[in-house]
Structure formats: structure tokens, C-alpha cells
Structure 1
Amino acid sequence: MRQDEPVAPSRQPSRPAPRRPRGRPSNPLLTVDGITAAAVRLLEERGQDGLTMAALARRLDVAPSALYNHVADKQDVLRAVQDHVNAGIDCSAFGVLPWDEALAAWARSYRDAYARHPALVPVMAVTPVRSAPHTVAMYERVSAGLTAAGWPGHLVTNVVVAVESFVLGSALDTQAPEDIFDPGDLAAAAPAFDAANRARPGGDTALAAFEVGLQALLTGLRVLRAPGSVPGEERRTP
């Protein structure tokens, strides 16, 4: 070969493309938290009937079968949604403040949580609490606080349900239009109702009504808890 002849470049053997590692990805596409968040959005958009496993899978862009690696069924999803919201309810006042003040603080926090998610109220009302750790922990704190304050065991859950019924209704009331009580052209047929509605102060009327109802509920519960007021309990001498 002459010195001035070009030298052909040597060919390097081609390297195979890197193989995709087998097994599950390090960052799973689905998590229970992600499923729960998508379920909350579906419930708020379509209501409870609009939340199906197929609709949830479409929202997450996965096959329905993929959901069942993380949740058992729709009821399991609803329980996760309930637990997600209830985790934000503050019940820390029980065991710290007197029972009625703690109950008021819990009721206000409870209402605020569901006022942010009013479409979830029907879920809360009918979903069993089993396998919902935040929800069970909340009820344990409230029940222990009421029991320590002297409420008899057979009334504790009834007190909780009474407060919840009022709170959840108040959460729904936050969504009512401002003119919900305007009788319109029927005002002449309901003069007392119309006058009362017109006399109602402005501002956050839903909150004002909630506070009136909460004080009335607490007043009644204080009377019920007074010595000798509970059926079967002997009146104690101060």
C-alpha cells in the first residue's frame, strides 16, 4: 500500500440496544392515593352513580384490571375517599378541652372538610368505616373524649350521629343559592316567611345558620348530660 493511499476506517461492532429491565417499574403508574384523587374528581363531577370502576380506569388511562391490584372494588374506593377526607378533620381538642368545646371544634372542622367536598356527603353517610384507619381513629378520639367526660356508653354513638347529621346537612347548605328562600310571587301567601327571610342578615348565611344550630345542639346536649338527666342514671348531689 502506498503511503499516500487513504486508509479505510476500522469498523467497530455495533452494540445491541439496551434491553428494558424486566419486572415492575420503579415508579408504579398507579397508587391508592392516585386512585383516590381520581375518584374524588369523578364523584364531584358525576355523583356516586357516575363513579364506576370502568370510568375510574378511563380517567386514569389504565385497564380496569389494573385497578384491582390496589383496590378490591367500588366500595373499597368509596372507603378510601371517605378516609381521605376524614383525615383532614381535626378532633385533637378531645381530651384537652371540656367535652362540649371539643365537640364544637370537631363539628366546625368536620363541616369545613365536607363543605369543600359537598358531593362526597352521600359517600360519608352510607359507607361503613371498616378498613378506614383515619376514620376509625377519629371516632376513637371522639368516643374516648365523650366517655372520659362521663357520657354513658349507650349514648356516645348516638351523640356522634346526632352531631354528624347536623354537620353534613350544614355542609350541603353551603352550596345553596342566596335566593333559596325567596318566595317570589308567592310572598303574599307567606307573609311571615317572607318577612323573616328579608330580615335575615347578609353575609355568610350558611355559616350563621350553622352556628345557631350548633349552639342549640350543644345546649340540648348539656341538658341531657346534666346529673340525673340520663334515663337510668341517679341524680348526683353537687
Structure 2
Amino acid sequence: MAGERQRGVGRPNENVLSRVLIVETALDLLDLHGRDGFGMRDIARRLGVRPSALYNHVASKDDVFRGIREVIATRITVAPFVTQRWDEALITWAHSYREVFASHPPTIALLAVMPFETDSEIFGTYEQVIEVLYREGWERAEALNILVAMESFILGSALDAAAPADMMSPGDRADIPHFSAAYAERDMRTADSGAGPADQAFEAGLNLLIAGLEAQRSARAASRVAHDR
């Protein structure tokens, strides 16, 4: 009817709402407005539905956050743990993990400290990481500590990727010659390679982590051979 208010083009009616649609909308709002970027009414307004309709699919705002983490977790590639060497697989996984979180900076601080639900899909990824490390000679408890250490590094690197590239600029200070020279040299590397400061730091840190793990793995393998003689 001519006098009837029309629903916005592309907006779902309540019958086609889903948990995934609600969670994806909340993630979009987070990206736009930061960590306080959405309430349930904001999600409903964006989708053109009544707030009460959301609760047929999610229990609360905390439940939406749990859904956001699950969505993000499914975007992190895990296939390399089946197809690549252990070190190559960890490198590929780390790059994917960082890229996913760097694409959504507001989620880093929010999701990094949120307890997991026991049915979370992220445990499938963790299982593959622990399995490959255990197969390469680490005890399972050690493998878990390695996983957490790598996650801490990756999340910090994702946060660094969202920071201004010139955040550490020393300006024209003359009392810190080594730091100023290091900063200038890194700028030259950036110009030559096209890799920004955060990317350079990530690659350096990841290479050190993998090299350290390889050195430890090789030393243990040599020790086992010597012991068996």
C-alpha cells in the first residue's frame, strides 16, 4: 500500500535473521566504531528489525562476542598442518592468524582475554598445533606453552599492525644516536622493500621463534641419538 512504510532495501525480515548475520553485523559495527561500537539496539537498527527478534538467535551481547570470536577463528587457515612441514605450517598459520585479527583491531583486546566455550571451534586448531609439535618431539605441556607464547606474539603483532607507522619516530633528537640511526635504517628498508615497520618486526620475531624451536628440536634429537648409542 502507498501509505505503508517500506523496509530498507537489503534489510532482512525477522524470519531470515540468523546468528551468523547478527554476529557479522556486530563485527562490522566494531570495525566502524571501536570496542564500544555496538549494543543490541544498534545491531537491530542496522538490520532493520526489532531488538527482541535478535534474542531468538543470540542470548546476550556476551554471546554475540563469543560468536564474533568463532567467526574470526574459522577464518584462520589450518590446512598447512596437514600439508606442510611443522615449521612451515606454523609460519603459515601465524601469518593467517595475524592477518585476520589485524583486519579487526578492536577485537584483539576484547577477545584475547575471553574464556573459551568448551565447544569452541578454536580447539580444533589448537589440537592440530599440539599434535604437530608433539610429533616433532615436544612434550604436550611444552607444546601448549609454545602455542600460548606464539599466540601472545601474534596478537601483539596484530595490534602493532594497527598502530601509526611513525609511532616510534625520534624526531631530530641528538642524544639517542643509535636509536635514531636504527630508525633511519629501518625507514630505508621500508622504502626498498615496501614492507612497513610492523611487518618487518613481525617477520623478525617469527623467524626468531621458529629458529629457536628448530634449534631446540635438533638438539633434543641429537641427544636422543647419543643416548641410544
Flag whether TM exceeds 0.5 (same fold): yes
CA shift, 1:92, in A, is 1.3
1:222 to 181, 200, 214: 214
> Deviation digits for residues 186-220 of structure 1, max 9, x if unmatched?
x2122211111001111222222211110001112
* Cα-Cα RMSD: 2.5
Aligned to 1:188: 174
Give the TM-score normalised by structure 2: 0.81
- Is residue 195 of structure 2 the alignment partner of residue 209 of structure 1? no
Q: Distance in 2 between matches of 1:124 and 1:225?
A: 32
Q: Which SS does the other structure have where 1:109 is aligned?
A: helix
Q: Distance in 2 between matches of 1:154 and 1:59?
A: 45
Select the structure of larger CA radius of gyration.
1
CA shift, 1:164, in A, is 1.0
- Is residue 160 of structure 2 the alignment partner of residue 173 of structure 1? yes
Q: Which SS does the other structure have where 2:15 is aligned?
A: coil
Aligned to 1:63: 50
5+ long unaligned stretches in structure 2? 1-11
Identity rate, percent = 42
CA shift, 1:166, in A, is 1.1
Q: Distance in 2 between matches of 1:94 and 1:110?
A: 14
Q: May I ask how many residue pairs the two structures share in their alignment? A: 209
Aligned to 2:225: 237
Amino acid at match of 1:204: A
Q: Distance in 2 between matches of 1:118 and 1:148?
A: 34
